[in-house]
Amino acid sequence: MTILEAKEFLHSKMESVNLRRHCYAVSVVMGALAVRLGHKEDREKWEVAGMLHDADYEVTKTDTAKHTHLVLEWLKDHTADAEIHGAILAHGWNYVPGNPQPKNDMEWALYCCDELTGLIVATALVKPDKKLSLVSVESVMNKWSQKSFAAGVDRKQIELCDEKLHIPLRDFIEIALTAMQQIAPDLGL
């Protein structure tokens, strides 16, 4: 599955522009993480996993137990790639009952960056022009420390980047921010 096919697939399953933007953000960050972690040859695969990880969210948001499992069912006719399937499943480790713990770079990358994209978007939205270009790593780090800011963002999930991916938090934020800035118009920021 190419990244364009993945985007088309996402659009066929998800109407909400904001939810789609979350998927674009996670996808572009996954591409950057693939390169950083030495998986450049699999970059597109990582991007596809990011694009699709929440594809069923509009349908499953009131039935969390089905989240990720429905995506996999839908994907049967599109890709049998076990790594993509595994990453989608493991991103729900902490909130979909019975989903497996991440076990490799790709799975941990998706797990750790999922929430971070939300913190970066929230940081951009309190800037005067709501522009991602005005966001710095320092401003995200400041918001990180304010636990009441974007309180729903699970900091513990993000900071596993250090232990599981050997990327210090500050670098992890920089990689994600830089990647998201490259597609800022697609993110409406």
Residues near Fe ion (CB under 5 A): 54, 114
Q: How far is the CB of 138 from Fe ion (least distance, A)?
A: 25
Judged by beta carbon, residue 64 or residue 133, the one nearer Fe ion is 64
Q: How far is the CB of 95 from Fe ion (least distance, A)?
A: 7
Judged by beta carbon, residue 134 or residue 186, the one nearer Fe ion is 186
d(CA 153, CA 155): 6
CA distances from 6 to 23, 181, 184 (A): 10, 21, 19
Q: How far is the CB of 156 from Fe ion (least distance, A)?
A: 16
Q: How far is the CB of 87 from Fe ion (least distance, A)?
A: 11
Judged by beta carbon, residue 17 or residue 145, the one nearer Fe ion is 17
Judged by beta carbon, residue 42 or residue 54, the one nearer Fe ion is 54
